[in-house]
Amino acid sequence: MVRRTLPTLFVSCLAAAFVIAATTPALLAHEVAEEAGVAADGPRDVHELWTTWGWEPGSVIGLALTAVLYAVGLGRTWRASGAGHGIRPWEAWCFAGGWLALFVALVSPLHPWGQVLFSAHMTQHELLMLVAAPLLVLGQPVPAFLRALPAAWASALGRLSNGAMWKRLWAAITRPLVAWIIHAAVLWAWHAPALFQATLHNEWVHATQHVSFLAAALLFWWSLTHGRRNAANYGVGVLYMFTTALQSGLLGALLTFARSAWYPDYAGRTASWGLTPLEDQQLGGLIMWVPACLVYVVAGLALFAGWMRESERRVTRREAGRLAGVSGGPRSRANPGDSAAQTTGATL
pTM of the predicted structure, to 2 decimals: 0.78
Q: pLDDT at position 150, please? A: 87
CA distance 58 to 225: 30
CA distance 218 to 47: 35
Q: pLDDT at position 131, please? A: 95
* Angle (CA) 278 283 288, round 5°: 120
CA distance 181 to 188: 11
Q: pLDDT at position 6, please? A: 44
Distant-in-sequence, close-in-space partners of 257: CB < 8 Å, separation ≥ 6? 282, 285
Q: Contact, 212 vs 231, CB < 8 A? A: no
Q: pLDDT at position 46, please? A: 83
What tens-digit pLDDT sequence spans the chain (348 residues)? 444 444 444 444 444 444 444 434 433 444 444 343 344 467 887 888 888 888 878 778 989 999 999 999 999 999 988 888 888 999 999 999 999 999 999 999 999 999 999 999 999 999 999 999 999 999 989 889 988 888 888 888 877 777 788 888 888 888 889 999 999 999 999 999 999 999 988 888 998 999 999 999 999 999 888 765 555 577 788 889 999 999 999 999 999 999 999 999 998 889 889 999 999 999 999 999 998 889 999 988 888 887 777 777 766 777 777 777 666 555 544 454 444 444 444 443
Q: What's the distance, CA 37 to chain centroid? A: 36
CA distance 151 to 139: 22
Q: Identify the CA nearest to 187 among candidates 174, 178, 196.
A: 196
